[in-house]
Amino acid sequence: MAILEVNDLSITFKQYTNGLKKKYIKVISSLNISVEAGEILAVVGASGSGKSLLAHAILGILPSNAKVSGTIKFNGEILTSARQEALRGREIALVPQSVNYLDPLMRVGKQVRTSVKKGNEAKAQREVFERYRLKSDVDKMYPFQLSGGMARRTLLSTAMVSGARVIIADEPTPGLDPAVINEALNHFRDVADNGNAVMLITHDIESALKIADKIAVLYAGSTVEVAPANNFTGNGEKLRHPYSKGLWRALPQNEFIPIPGSQPHPSTLPSGCLFEPRCVKATLECTKAQPVMRELRNGIVRCIHAT
Ligand SMILES: Nc1ncnc2c1ncn2[C@@H]1O[C@H](COP(=O)(O)OP(=O)(O)OP(=O)(O)O)[C@@H](O)[C@H]1O
Ligand code: NI
């Protein structure tokens, strides 16, 4: 059974334009993902595709002007806001994208110790800092005294000591040196191998492929494909969606040819398939409705033409 399951998630923001006119912007539409115990799901997609909002929706930390529909389940049970609050930091932990999430007024060693829910706090904190190469003088520092990389390693440590069943890491590694990136990736693999689930949000498909079991590709606020990691190979011939194939081929180590056009802004989404305006396979049918997610060759895809 999936530990974490997101079904048909949509998020709309209510905004006031000048003259106090209300405007609704749909930033996530009909998004589906699930992660099983023992699994790492990597979530990839361009900037603005909705990766962080997905993470914040699961944690229940969206801004108050966000309207959410669809269901999010943890351990088979619906995550209500009361449950989200009870589980946050205990059963579901976040490695936030921004280092501003550190408490500016608390020494970082203490911040990490506070996250330890079981066992010896001091021991767990020192061990995780050793793992991330943070010397003992860092324990007593305040966030403003840390470099960007040290702050990231502190955020990683905070989530890793929590003992959570689900770790959601939102771009956890930018600015870290390759040895520490590898350490963090191996640590995620260990956490998953111990029967937990990891959702790794990243721009770095290459790194994600080293450890992930499945990759979910987001486009303009929706999932277009979820595929086993080993499908990201060769020319992308094993992938199902034209966007996933394009994203894969656009990598510098592959053909390095970008997909023409750009991802639509949430305020001007196409009415049919969200990728239709840029898709070489598009037909009139594609402009009519957003395709549903369907199973195909051991993965899922949102495209009527995928084979
Ligand atoms: N509070 C908000 N109000 C209105 N729109 C928002 C808000 N927060 C995010 N958005 C919009 O929602 C979309 C998705 O944002 P999100 O931060 O989830 O993207 P992302 O995939 O995490 O991008 P990145 O890779 O740059 O971190 C973007 O178009 C963004 O402008
Ligand atoms: Ni983000």
CA distance 49 to 46: 6
Ligand 1 centre distance from Cα of residue 261 (Å): 19
Ligand closest to CA 43:
1
Please report the pLDDT score of residue 16 as a whole number.
Answer: 83
- 296, 278 Cβ separation under 8 angstroms: no
Q: Which atom of ligand 1 is nearest to the CA of 49?
A: 21
End-to-end CA distance of the chain: 27
Please report the pLDDT score of residue 1 as a whole number.
Answer: 80
Please report the pLDDT score of residue 21 as a whole number.
Answer: 84
Domain ranges, ordered by start, for the chain: 2-91+164-179+189-263, 104-163
Ligand 1, atom 5: closest residue by C-alpha:
13
- 44, 247 Cβ separation under 8 angstroms: yes
Please report the pLDDT score of residue 23 as a whole number.
Answer: 87
Please report the pLDDT score of residue 85 as a whole number.
Answer: 97
Both tokens assigned to 10? 């949509």
3-state secondary structure 133-174: CCCHHHHHCCHHHCCHHHHHHHHHHHHHCCCCCEEEEECCCC
User: 27 CB less than 6 Å from ligand 1?
Assistant: yes
pTM of this structure: 0.96
Most informative mutation of 23, 26, 49 for ligand 1 (most atoms within 8 A of CB): 49
Both tokens assigned to 172? 């956890």
Ligand 2 centre distance from Cα of residue 214 (Å): 19
Ligand 1, atom 30: closest residue by C-alpha:
48
Q: What is the CATH number of domain 2-91+164-179+189-263?
A: 3.40.50.300
Q: State the residue for tokens 């840390």.
A: 146
Please report the pLDDT score of residue 19 as a whole number.
Answer: 74
CA distance 209 to 200: 11
Most informative mutation of 9, 24, 27, 274 for ligand 1 (most atoms within 8 A of CB): 27
- pLDDT tens for each residue of the chain, 307 residues long: 899 999 999 999 998 877 778 889 999 999 999 999 999 999 999 999 999 999 999 999 999 999 999 999 999 999 999 999 999 999 999 999 999 999 999 999 999 999 999 999 999 999 999 999 999 999 999 999 999 999 999 999 999 999 999 999 999 999 899 999 999 999 999 999 999 999 999 988 999 999 999 999 999 999 999 999 999 999 999 999 999 999 999 999 999 999 999 999 999 999 999 999 999 999 999 999 999 999 999 999 999 999 9
